[in-house]
């Protein structure tokens, strides 16, 4: 499909801000495919761990990356992950994997390969809502609309803690907050593809409004922008 016929909406922002929730909802409203690019960084980290490779050894992780077959499919508003034909959609969410993603996420050549994968994935979609850290800045600088979502750090940690507690995980709010601060620092300070808003991103503060209210606002902006683009 030609670039001009495609509609690309990017949503970037820090961990725990509710990006996936609003990205999924927005994709549903726009009849677009949803892509969770964090799933890709998680998949490469999991593949390394499962092959006995320390993810900090990014040169070995890169060799492994070239040998594995990674597939990402959009099914039921979820980015399903397959490594060498095996469904790893649940396994990539293990907190032990989350803690180690920073090494893969900071390796320039691996980031380059994953950005290429994201662009290849989008090339097959008529409309896509893609979320991550660098979607508007690096992966899709020509996106139709770019959003950057922020929220108060303590509120993000409280929400994440509540979700983990509901999921049966025994972890203190303080520990969740500390992990979140470490992940923010690593996301913001890496040299390649750091977490930062694109210059032309629409900034959205998600501290107070509900997901529904945020998506209402995003949908209005997207539809207005697309209408303006047609004239």
Is residue 133 part of the contact set for ligand DC (CB under 6 A)?
A: yes
- The site map against ligand DC for 90-119 (x = CB under 6 A) is -----------x---x--------------
Residue nearer to ligand DC on the CB measure, 6 or 160: 160
Cβ of residue 70: shortest distance to ligand DC, in angstroms?
Answer: 14
Residue nearer to ligand DC on the CB measure, 112 or 229: 112
Residue nearer to ligand DC on the CB measure, 188 or 224: 188
User: Of these, 187, 198, 206, 222, which contacts ligand DC (CB under 6 A)?
Assistant: 187
Strands of the sheet containing 127-132, edge to edge, are 33-36, 127-132, 7-12, 145-150, 202-205
Residue nearer to ligand DC on the CB measure, 101 or 204: 101
229 in Cβ contact with 8 (< 8 Å): no
Is residue 41 part of the contact set for ligand DC (CB under 6 A)?
A: yes
Closest by CA to 125, choosing from 38, 24, 35, 6, is 6
Q: Considering only the stretches 82-90, 128-136, 210-218, 220-228, report the one whose residues sit in contact with ligand DC under the rule CB under 6 A.
A: 128-136
Residue nearer to ligand DC on the CB measure, 64 or 226: 64
Cβ of residue 30: shortest distance to ligand DC, in angstroms?
Answer: 20
Q: Considering only the stretches 2-10, 68-76, 82-90, 127-135, report the one whose residues sit in contact with ligand DC under the rule CB under 6 A.
A: 127-135
- Which residues of this protein are in contact with ligand DC, per CB under 6 A? 15, 37-38, 41-42, 101, 105, 132-134, 183, 187
């Amino acid at each position: 499909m030609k670039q001009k016929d495609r509609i690309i909406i990017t949503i970037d922002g820090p961990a725990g801000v509710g990006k996936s929730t609003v990205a999924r909802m927005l994709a549903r409203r726009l009849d677009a495919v949803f892509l969770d690019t964090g799933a890709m960084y998680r998949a490469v980290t999991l593949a390394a761990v499962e092959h006995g490779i320390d993810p900090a050894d990014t040169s070995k992780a890169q060799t492994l990356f070239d040998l594995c077959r990674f597939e990402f499919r959009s099914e039921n508003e979820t980015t399903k992950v397959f490594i060498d034909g095996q469904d790893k959609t649940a396994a990539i969410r293990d907190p032990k994997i989350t803690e180690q993603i920073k090494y893969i996420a900071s390796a320039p050549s691996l980031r380059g390969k994953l950005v290429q994968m994201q662009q290849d994935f989008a090339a097959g979609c008529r409309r896509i809502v893609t979320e991550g850290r660098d979607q508007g800045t690096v992966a899709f600088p020509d996106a139709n609309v770019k959003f950057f979502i922020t929220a108060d750090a303590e509120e993000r940690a409280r929400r994440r803690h509540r979700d983990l507690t509901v999921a049966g995980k025994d972890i203190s709010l303080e520990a969740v907050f500390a992990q979140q601060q470490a992940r923010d620092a690593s996301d913001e300070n890496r040299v390649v593809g750091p977490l930062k808003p694109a210059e032309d991103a629409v900034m959205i503060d998600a501290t107070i409004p509900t997901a529904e209210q945020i998506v209402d606002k995003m949908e209005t902006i997207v539809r207005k922008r697309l209408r303006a683009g047609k004239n």
